[in-house]
Structure 1
């Protein structure tokens, strides 16, 4: 009986994920010609072309599409089986790089505290914050990310999820803004000024506009920027009002330059969660990471805002 070469399984997983011989070669640190030869062997082994050219790009065959998740699961399971058995976790001497995928606002507000506390508890642990250009569970499924942090998007049904805290939107203006002299901002004052909106997809309307519409009012959207840091930068230099999550203002540098006020309209709370793939559920180091992130975030939110968030 001819046993298949199981080394091909790793190459198959990467090829199906990247849909490109060149990209797969870079990820596996192989030459393009070596990767092409591996693809030829995979085609011979499976009896299917797997990747075929469509214009300038390569696309998966129907058989390859059906194999993609199975190949990924098989590789992850094989790695778990071959991982050395570890004794009880001693986090103080543990060495590992954990990758957390989060937006800029979370990294600026919570990153310094998480990094500082991790250095005290586990000096061998490195927290690597990766950018989050879109909401997707692909990095979790492919094992490239340990935790996804933010508002849950279109995650697969298998993805585990735990609430970190509840956030809320607030208004922010520069210190010299006329609204900074008001104890409270009325809905009429709020709609009198121009607004800068943070939207990765360029959308202008949001929950605030829905609440204003119920009162028969609207606001003047003067600018749209891709993220909250940019919105606050605009607010510092203009008389525009920025709308940001309260947690983003935990950054002292932000708080010193801006006046923050409660919105004159109600908006639904924002649930910030951490998400992970179920294969990491029982991993001792990953369990520690989840508990560490959860407790650190909640303590920071309660300590800085003096507002307790319900435990779920």
Structure 2
């Protein structure tokens, strides 16, 4: 079935509202003759006269009157489709945002992001999706709205924004013997370590940096996330190396932990947020991205005591 000419719908709306070929012609920036020809096409499409002569004017037929409200509604809906919406009422927005990241971001910003939702978008909700092997099409397929990560290997079409830069620091219980003397690379390598790896790898950049100095460390525990590592060192002499960002979410834990600078050279870690271009102009998604960016900037401005 061929699609109808949607221009006839707009013309019908103008004709019914103006009740005049001349008035509809002015509204649609057409000549009266062109509008008259359009009326003929509308009549043929509907199989109805639509407007008939009554004295010196035109009056709508019963069929036209029955269609008038529906026609007006359809034209308004079509107009909305092509109008850019630059604003959204976050107070009434009902939407679930899906954010993918690791537990570093969840721990540092999860509660603050939920607070922002409660205050500014009380009908919206948040779902954190963990990072995993593969599943690189989640952004492209729309299964997640935002990916917060330190990785950079996104597709060329993806939008990427820098959030903050962090560094790796070490963490040990407050009365750990490593604090009895200055922390040197040798003393850092002397104690047993926890390795945090989603893939279960016991070695990484720290081992490479130690190797350059002719040193090595002993990894006696490997965990998939940083927060399980933190609790594992609470009653042991283990040391864990982690992004400084993790410390941003530890204020309320009440754990007697002490961070310290790793005596090795490391490149800083750049954390970004990435999204698919389909969301670039979406006002609710823009609010989410800006809220995440503002939270990250606020926390990075804090001065954390690290010896």
**Alignment TM-score, normalising by the size of structure 1:** 0.67
- 1:222 corresponds in structure 2 to 220
Q: For residues 114-140 of structure 1, what are the alpha-carbon distances to aligned partners after superposition, in whole Å with 9 as ceiling and x for unaligned?
A: 111232233233222122223643111
Does structure 2 retain, via aligned residues, the 8 Å contact 1:174–1:238? yes
- 1:239 corresponds in structure 2 to 237
- 2:68 corresponds in structure 1 to none
What is the distance in 2 between the residues matched to 1:302 and 1:146?
26
What is the distance in 2 between the residues matched to 1:305 and 1:295?
19
- Aligned mate of 2:190, from 188, 192, 196: 192
More helix by share: 1
Please state how far the C-alpha of 1:161 moved relative to its aligned partner: 0.8
Q: For residues 164-205 of structure 1, what are the alpha-carbon distances to aligned partners after superposition, in whole Å with 9 as ceiling and x for unaligned?
A: 1111111111123112445x4111110110111001112222
Please state how far the C-alpha of 1:153 moved relative to its aligned partner: 5.0
Task: Supply the RMSD in Å over aligned alpha carbons.
Answer: 2.6
**Alignment TM-score, normalising by the size of structure 2:** 0.68
Does structure 2 retain, via aligned residues, the 8 Å contact 1:98–1:125? yes
Say yes or no: does 1:203 pair with 2:197.
no
Matches within 5 A, 1:46-85: none
Matches within 5 A, 1:130-149: 130-134=129-133, 136-149=135-148
What is the distance in 2 between the residues matched to 1:108 and 1:271?
17
Matches within 5 A, 1:70-149: 86=85, 88-134=87-133, 136-149=135-148
Does structure 1 retain, via aligned residues, the 8 Å contact 2:171–2:239? yes
SS of aligned partner of 1:162: strand
1:254–1:193 CA distance, 2 compared to 1 (3 A): farther
- 1:274 corresponds in structure 2 to 273
1:180–1:124 CA distance, 2 compared to 1 (3 A): farther
Matches within 5 A, 1:136-175: 136-175=135-174
- 2:293 corresponds in structure 1 to 294
Does structure 2 retain, via aligned residues, the 8 Å contact 1:194–1:240? yes
Q: For residues 200-238 of structure 1, what are the alpha-carbon distances to aligned partners after superposition, in whole Å with 9 as ceiling and x for unaligned?
A: 112222111121111111111122111111221221132
1:94–1:239 CA distance, 2 compared to 1 (3 A): same
Aligned length: 229
1:267–1:87 CA distance, 2 compared to 1 (3 A): closer
Please state how far the C-alpha of 1:260 moved relative to its aligned partner: 0.7
Residue ranges of structure 2 left out of the alignment (5+ in a row): 4-79
1:135–1:304 CA distance, 2 compared to 1 (3 A): farther
Does structure 2 retain, via aligned residues, the 8 Å contact 1:137–1:154? no
Does structure 1 retain, via aligned residues, the 8 Å contact 2:85–2:283? no
For the pair shown, the structure with the greater C-alpha radius of gyration is 2
1:83–1:203 CA distance, 2 compared to 1 (3 A): farther
- 1:8 corresponds in structure 2 to none
Does structure 1 retain, via aligned residues, the 8 Å contact 2:147–2:275? yes
